[in-house]
Amino acid sequence: MSYDDHAVLEAILRCAGGDERFLLNTVEEWGAAEITAALVDELLFRCEIPQVGGEAFIGLDVLHGADRISHVLQVTDGKPVTSAEPAGQELGGRTWSSRSATLLRELFGPPSGRTAGGFGVSFLPDLRGPRTMEGAALAARATNVVLHATTNETPPLDRLALRYESDKWGGVHWFTGHYDRHLRAVRDQAVRILEIGIGGYDDLLPSGASLKMWKRYFPRGLVFGVDIFDSRRATSRVSRRSAARQDDPEFMRRVAEEHGPFDVIIDDGSHINAHMRTSFSVMFPHLRNGGFYVIEDTFTSYWPGYGGPSGARCPSGTTALEMVKGLIDSVHYEERPDGAATADYIARNLVGLHAYQTTSSSSRRAINKEGGIPHTVPREPFWNDN
């Protein structure tokens, strides 16, 4: 099943916070088997690496009306949880069952505590003999790994960066604290994220690490990535576009028209100053009102190899940092005598920005029209300081 077009996931996200009738109609429209496949895919992704002291096969029955869609999950110590057919092997002692609407809401609905009766567990008659207690304990640990993945608890962003081997924390960069400070307020919303730069460098290294990190950080989000290198593998809630330069305005506009508007855009691409400036000017208008645009690794503004100066300071108008400095003037355009006449789209829709040492800068889009300081306020000091 391919999720590259996000059609199934978008339908799930639309109905997850709605009323029961809308949700059940969505399941009927797409089919219980199709919806369940997407839910199981998400469930497997969210499972932590098990520390269970063995291997167990846990049955999962998803119920929808008279339908029962059955899956088997393989939980092995130290390995990712996978979907499996045990082929004659006994299950680990229990089968977990959940109604499709309940499982869908727990995975993709607004945050809420788990209520009693949300799922059922049945013990299987295979726990006999001297290993009964050991087998039951293993089954309990394995089942807990799977059940915990349906909760609203999301690990801290720095842990997610380490888990998926993203470079945004723990090595050269220390970005996750900045990201969490600005994005935690929308963490549980149905957001759309675009990251420019997937990584992997023509398959020399694993790609998509930060896309997986964002997928886990935003449990209700859709994540999109673009890169100059070919990396079009897609997984549930993550779509990748490739073989295009971020300084190609037409390509970037097509991405925005197809997948936007976005709640968050992250430029972790080439880090070439001209590319960063082009991407910002093209993509900032495709942020939703209240969205964030983040530029990483702006320290390349000081590196000649990336279009920085050969001297000690950034020359005006050529680097990403000089662009950021200019945005401060843009935020305050209403205070300039010619501000209203000369303000461009970005000035009228940028309400704030944050810059961090050698790391990243973020800009927030919203309507920037508060009227300015009234003319009744003197433009010169009214006291005599002589």
135 is annotated as contributing to ligand binding: no
202 is annotated as contributing to ligand binding: no
236 is annotated as contributing to ligand binding: no
2 is annotated as contributing to ligand binding: no
The residue with tokens 């130290």 is: 78
Residue 253: phi and psi, rounded to 5, are: -65, -40
268 is annotated as contributing to ligand binding: yes
**What's the rounded Cα separation, in Å, for the pair 106 and 23?**
13
326 is annotated as contributing to ligand binding: no
**Per-residue tokens: 153:** 């608890």
Give whole-number Cα distances, 82 to 167, 205, 348, in Å.
26, 23, 49
363 is annotated as contributing to ligand binding: no
- Single out the residue of 148, 142, 91 nearest to residue 114, CA to CA: 148
Give whole-number Cα distances, 357 to 82, 304, 351, in Å.
41, 19, 21
Spatial neighbors of 115 by CB under 8 A, at least 6 apart, are: none
- Single out the residue of 103, 42, 49 nearest to residue 238, CA to CA: 42
**What's the rounded Cα separation, in Å, for the pair 13 and 188?**
12
**What's the rounded Cα separation, in Å, for the pair 26 and 214?**
26
Please say whether the beta carbons of 234 and 157 come within 8 A: no
166 is annotated as contributing to ligand binding: yes
201 is annotated as contributing to ligand binding: yes
129 is annotated as contributing to ligand binding: no
- For 44-64, give the DSSP string: HHHPPPP--SSEEEEEEEEEE
Q: How many CB atoms lie within 10 A of CB 27?
A: 22
**What's the rounded Cα separation, in Å, for the pair 296 and 285?**
19
Counting every residue, how long is the chain?
386
Please say whether the beta carbons of 223 and 215 come within 8 A: yes
200 is annotated as contributing to ligand binding: yes
Q: Which listed residue (173, 178, 259, 271) is catalytic?
A: 271
245 is annotated as contributing to ligand binding: yes
**What's the rounded Cα separation, in Å, for the pair 181 and 79?**
32
**182 is a catalytic site residue:** no
Read off the DSSP letter of residue 113. P
189 is annotated as contributing to ligand binding: no
User: Active-site residues: which are they?
Assistant: 271
Residues annotated within the binding site for S-adenosyl-L-methionine are 166, 195-201, 210, 227, 245-246, 268
Binding residues for Mg(2+): 268, 296-297
